Structure 1
């Protein structure tokens, strides 16, 4: 155990939602934890192979859907029942980690695609979330962990993890080796949204019941009575409350509780949605046209850096014209163009990708991850697809053209980047990499040029012009 803790302490902070990797004194977060990233210690991936022939819109959508299905079925001999999709290609070094946020997005994207077999795959993932909720090795209160293991691997310290998603004793295989043991409000609300959308598509009661349990966990464990209100972050891996409050997570709660009220007709969920929305509105900076990131203590607003997610998700969840300008701010202030000739770019020679980055801090960062210096003009492709999705949903005079232009950039990245990567040791294609070059979020973690379920799902939302945060938004 001491050797494991030492190894974890050496790993860089690299995750989607940075607080959640708290596990005792070790802090590890989720987006790239080893020198196994493509390119090793070099800033440019090597060797590079040409991507597949340039795909059109329909072909790109089919390829993205196939990637999500491959991620779901990455370990076919060991996961034969309910399961979750591996979040990142093997090259990232997180092995078989499956984050619930990514899986929630995958469910919504598969429902939005409406292709052959996509509903069946969405149900497999939904059943995986329900199984994880009902078979936690410690708790029986409706929570989901940040991430799970879905396939065998040997950890960096030589300690084997031999099982699939379901352990021999029937419990869900929680991601203890990386410390992905905590439970965050946002990482609960997104699975709640996905399960409700799956209930809408199937009318199978187990998905609704699981979503209600998620809602009850959030309102019981994270309802903040501090001055800024809203919902706090959640609990760490040792089940200690984390007082931070995230604008992004409260936006998730507005969407989730609004949908729960619509489906159940229970007014209590409407009150929870209003509680979350009041926090979000306190984070709005009318003078700047953006949402602040949140609070560290429930009392003072954290004003730096300013991230993209609250801008895009606020539109999808609230659809309130008072805050619609946040999309325009994001499109201007966070715009980036990654060109292969830049010293810290990881793009193959001759390539160029445009879009947006994660936050205001990403544009000036000089951080390093795994010995690689971040690229300030790297494109966060998940966020670029989020902005394309939001603009298409807003539907203003120029929004359709702007959305299509961003979508074309993501489609180009799907063609040109991430070739030769693997899921469960099998080469895959069609996924969208998390970032065009290594970027720093500004919150202590980075995104790599590795195929990613979350980025691919947002690409599908943009491609299908659907909204995963609204009831009926996937039809």
Structure 2
């Protein structure tokens, strides 16, 4: 979702580059006109006592006026967020037609000389998962159409070995008849991205029972096993995948291995094949090896040598995702670490930052991660903390200047520094919106 593959920062979804080279489009971020764009942020532990009025054009909601709570009811806020995902999905088509949504809109992206419309596979997977959490007829139809688009891209890939790419261009999808080369935005094939698309396919198969989705997931799992398994360099686990030039990415990312843990566990459940469970255990053993014994937080992963721990910066997502993917109490301390170390306050907004490199702004996608992890953990005070975090996201839904009253922006202010060479902006983001919905519906994407 974001970062750069320099030796000091091998992470999940990194942009594939080495020092001194320009960054590339990645899972969470993108580079436009020479400027890196990503999103980072902060831990929502409270909300302001007065909520601002809804932005112009937002639907008039049923309201509650309790002190310290957003004006919108949570259910109304949820439905408006789903409206935003529907709007993005239907920009390039309708009904059951396979199509892709743009990931980011408005704000910084509206100032660019050329419109930026890239569709990031990670964001697309989150949208599928969010729709299947509510599961209305239109939700399932859109999730299926987006899943079919991702299957078509997997099948039409020029290498054709089962991979998907980091991003695609939705304005030139679908592939023409007769076929033309698919319009790839970012060509890297990251292990984490394959896992997230695989998680979406697994959930689609579970809901629709359409075998094509399980087949697509198995192709992605086989690709990860073939291209990323590393038993030779300790700690053993899975490497980052293949870069834009189809060369091996040699670092191991904690986030990627969390993603693989969840994905392969679901493949084992759906197929009854214990081989996938053993592979999931290998990935999870790497995650355990990245936990610091002093305070329980997780390191980013390794340097490109596959062995040396990368200790700077320390990101939010691996802390909360480790708990969500495993529900193992050993990772309860990593969730607490986020609360203690990554809380950001930016004007009226409070929530988790992207990493310890910059805790001046809230990363609203991370707010969804953290709220969901707190709900799953259920320790004393966790429910109230999760509620407060979501209240702050909901306030941003209504009051962010670049918002539309429905979607969630990536960061509370422009320029959130991830620490991996990228920035996030206060622009509407399908991924942040989908994570909010997963948190509101209490849907753990790592577990069936």
TM-score normalised according to structure 1 size: 0.79
Structure 2 residue 419 is the aligned partner of structure 1 residue 442: yes
Residue from 102, 112, 116 that aligns with 1:86 = 102
Structure 2 residue 298 is the aligned partner of structure 1 residue 291: yes
Q: Is contact 1:132-1:172 (8 Å) kept?
A: no
Alignment of 1:113-128 (within 5 A): 113-128=134-149
Tell me, in whole angstroms, the C-alpha distance in 1 between the residues paired with 2:130 and 2:419: 28
Deviations 1:6-60 (A, max 9, x none): xxxxxxxxx98332479xx6532343544799xxxxxxxxxx9657354221111
Q: Is contact 2:25-2:167 (8 Å) kept?
A: no
Judged with a 3 Å threshold, the aligned counterparts in structure 2 of structure 1 residues 16 and 310 are, in CA distance, closer, same or farther, namely closer
Q: Is contact 2:314-2:357 (8 Å) kept?
A: yes
Deviations 1:64-123 (A, max 9, x none): 11111111111238x983122211115425622111100111100011122351111110
Structure 2 residue 80 is the aligned partner of structure 1 residue 63: yes
1:432 maps to: 408
| SS in structure 1 at match of 2:386 | helix
Tell me, in whole angstroms, the C-alpha distance in 2 between the residues paired with 1:21 and 1:70: 34
1:269 maps to: 276
Structure 2 residue 121 is the aligned partner of structure 1 residue 95: no
Structure 2 residue 386 is the aligned partner of structure 1 residue 390: no
1:213 maps to: 219
Give the gaps of 5 or more residues in structure 2.
Answer: 1-10, 36-53, 61-70
Residue from 165, 170, 177 that aligns with 1:145 = 165
Judged with a 3 Å threshold, the aligned counterparts in structure 2 of structure 1 residues 458 and 28 are, in CA distance, closer, same or farther, namely same
1:156 maps to: none
Judged with a 3 Å threshold, the aligned counterparts in structure 2 of structure 1 residues 354 and 106 are, in CA distance, closer, same or farther, namely same
Deviations 1:193-228 (A, max 9, x none): 111011000100000000000000000000012122
Tell me, in whole angstroms, the C-alpha distance in 1 between the residues paired with 2:12 and 2:349: 22
Alignment of 1:66-465 (within 5 A): 66-76=83-93, 81-91=97-107, 92=109, 93=112, 95-136=116-157, 138-151=158-171, 163-167=172-176, 169-171=178-180, 173-176=182-185, 180-224=186-230, 225-296=232-303, 297-339=305-347, 352-363=348-359, 377-419=360-402, 429-438=405-414, 439-465=416-442
CA RMSD of aligned residues (A): 2.4
Alignment of 1:38-57 (within 5 A): 50=56, 52=58, 54-57=71-74
Runs of 4+ in 1 over 6 A off after TM superposition: none
Tell me, in whole angstroms, the C-alpha distance in 1 between the residues paired with 2:388 and 2:55: 26
Greater relative CO (CA pairs within 8 A, separation 6+): 2
Deviations 1:386-434 (A, max 9, x none): 10011111122211111111011001111111546xxxxxxx6511000
| SS in structure 1 at match of 2:357 | helix
Q: CA deviation at 1:140?
A: 1.3
Judged with a 3 Å threshold, the aligned counterparts in structure 2 of structure 1 residues 419 and 303 are, in CA distance, closer, same or farther, namely closer
Tell me, in whole angstroms, the C-alpha distance in 2 between the residues paired with 1:251 and 1:80: 32
Tell me, in whole angstroms, the C-alpha distance in 1 between the residues paired with 2:57 and 2:291: 42
Tell me, in whole angstroms, the C-alpha distance in 2 between the residues paired with 1:437 and 1:49: 17
Give the gaps of 5 or more residues in structure 1.
Answer: 1-14, 38-47, 152-162, 340-351, 364-376, 421-427
TM-score normalised according to structure 2 size: 0.84
Q: Is contact 1:414-1:432 (8 Å) kept?
A: yes
Higher alpha-carbon deviation: 394-403 or 305-314: 394-403
Q: Is contact 1:90-1:96 (8 Å) kept?
A: no
Q: Is contact 2:96-2:142 (8 Å) kept?
A: no
